[in-house]
Homo-oligomer: A and B are copies of this chain.
Amino acid sequence: MIKVAIIGASGYTGAESIDIILRHNQAKLVYLSALPEECGAVEEVFPRFRGRCNLQIEPLDIDKLSGLADVALCCLPHKVSMGFVPKLLDAGLKVVDFSADYRIKSTEVYEKFYQVKHTDTANLERAVYGLPELFREDIKGKDLIANPGCYPTGALLALAPLLKEAIVETDSIVVNAVTGISGAGKNPSVKFHYPNMNENIFAYGIGTHRHMPEMEQIAGQIAGTDVNILFQPHAGPFDRGILSTVYCQPKGKTNGEQLTKLYNDFYTDEPFVQIRNDAPGAKDVAWTNYCHIFISCVKGKIAVFSAIDNLVKGASGQAVQNMNIIFDLDETVGLL
């Protein structure tokens, strides 16, 4: 039984992580922490866990945590996380970190997009980007995993075969994505006040979204060359899911059948990636760790459609998938 601590357990990805670990038969929750003002019995903080979990969410106490847990799912926000991850590592825990702090390898890019100095460059260097479908071998046995962003997960799984096989012009890529509002986190705001968001859909983060450099870095790694991505997120009136519609220009002639075969081959052994023959809906993957993909050729361009649940494959599910890999468990435990 792997002993799991969740740091930052009072937010949406914390709750989702609790939910998954409660159904995981080779791991158990031993410790939950949050900011003091958000602590209390799990079942008070999240009524949906009444009767399912007796733990308290308590202020982080590294000394107490040390020895208690094998691994921390660190659900802290960007910038905050890098203040705690070194302590968690020092306490002997393996860490799957949900923030962006260990994803962007260039501190320059990180500091430009996150507007803060990186304070843990030592660990940054050794952190592995936790997209198992692409970096499984690197993840095995590691002690610090940078769990990917939700949008990059959906977009990179949609793009990887095209990039790997150098099929598309690397400056032609547009990622148009729509997310459900659980992606916005639990803090109330004007934009996501129910009467504003219901019956609405809008673009945001135009030219500035922080997942853009993350996508480009990993896409570049896959392609072995610089990749330029125009990433445009939108917020839509639903809870869960990211639907990514990816447009790009093929270098030469291709067609839907060839590309479908390529995708089927590329992902043939992947338990959580499903290549479809029709366009996936966000609801097809809601509450699951799956990514559904459909690829097509339209009027000389390629259009790829991918759907994930932003809280599962886009966050907590993928973190548990990474945890399973680290501890050499069957990768799908707790996730089917």
Contacts and interface: CB of A to CB of B under 8 A. Distances in A.
A198 B230 contact: no
A10 B163 CA distance: 39
A50 B274 contact: yes
A243 interface: yes
Interface in A275-316: 276, 279-288, 290, 292, 296-301, 303, 305, 307
B245 A232 contact: yes
B281 A206 contact: no
Contact of A285 (B48, B230, B245, B271): B48
Given A247-B230, A292-B50, A237 B280 contact: no
B282 A23 contact: no
Interface in A164-196: 171, 174, 176, 178, 180-182, 184, 186-190, 192-196
A51 B271 contact: yes
Interface residues of A, number: 77
A303 B236 contact: no
A288 B48 contact: yes
Interface in A245-293: 245, 247, 271-272, 274, 276, 279-288, 290, 292
Contacts of A52: 288, 336
Nearest to A187: B193
A228 interface: yes
Contact of A238 (B50, B201, B204, B241): B201
Interface in A35-60: 47-48, 50-52
A30 interface: no
Contacts of A12: 195
Contacts of A240: 199
A183 B70 CA distance: 43
A22 B23 CA distance: 12
A171 B249 CA distance: 11
A236 B239 contact: no
A115 interface: no
A218 B12 CA distance: 40
Interface of A: 12, 22-23, 25, 47-48, 50-52, 171, 174, 176, 178, 180-182, 184, 186-190, 192-204, 206-207, 228-230, 232, 234, 236-241, 243, 245, 247, 271-272, 274, 276, 279-288, 290, 292, 296-301, 303, 305, 307, 336
16 contacts: A23-B336, A47-B292, A51-B272, A52-B336, A178-B201, A182-B195, A186-B195, A188-B189, A192-B194, A195-B239, A196-B283, A200-B282, A202-B281, A206-B296, A206-B303, A234-B243
